[in-house]
């Protein structure tokens, strides 16, 4: 096998490992979110850009009154990033987060964007439930 052939095989093997690590990261995040779903309405929002500082995913859970019960954030460049507790929004109305009036101090813009997106998804769901649309 030529050197070029070996290079393509190596690239293929590295790509398979990257896919496997991304799959494991996704499964770990889903496992972390399972506990949030038990607390109420849960949604995941995304903020940031793929190649400019990376993305952040924020999961928020709110009760039927629209008060945030808990949250988790997943951020980082690599597939080794793990989600962490995000308690900066706990106890606040989901409307304040969705409108941008409530931001997590000390967090990057992408985390606050992701939280606002998540809050908007929860608000949309709660409005549909009130209207009888489930």
Return the CATH number at 86.
3.90.1010
- List b or e across 45-68, with b for residues whose CB sees 16 or more CB atoms inside 10 angstroms: bebbeeeeebbbbbbbbbeeebeb
The pLDDT tens digits for 50-98 are 777 678 899 999 998 889 999 999 887 777 778 888 888 999 999 999 8
pLDDT > 70? residue 133: no
The mean pLDDT value for 109-131 works out to 91
For the chain, what is the domain count? Answer: 1
- Overall pTM surpassing 0.85 (yes/no): no
The domain of 70 spans 3-130
The rounded mean pLDDT for the chain is 88
Residues 73, 54: Cα–Cα separation, whole Å: 13
The mean pLDDT value for 104-110 works out to 82
pLDDT score recorded for residue 52:
74
């Amino acid at each position: 096998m030529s050197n070029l052939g070996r290079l393509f095989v190596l690239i293929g093997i590295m790509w398979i490992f990257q896919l496997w690590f991304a799959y494991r990261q996704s499964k770990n995040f889903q496992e972390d979110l399972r506990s949030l779903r038990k607390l109420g309405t849960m949604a995941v929002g995304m903020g940031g850009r793929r190649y400019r500082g990376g993305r952040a995913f924020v999961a928020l859970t709110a009760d039927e009154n629209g008060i945030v019960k808990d949250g988790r954030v997943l951020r980082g460049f690599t597939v080794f990033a793990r989600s962490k507790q995000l308690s900066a929004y706990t106890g606040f109305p989901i409307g304040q987060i969705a409108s941008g009036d409530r931001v997590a101090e000390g967090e990057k813009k992408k985390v606050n964007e992701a939280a606002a997106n998540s809050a908007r998804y929860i608000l949309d769901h709660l409005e549909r439930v009130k209207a009888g649309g489930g």
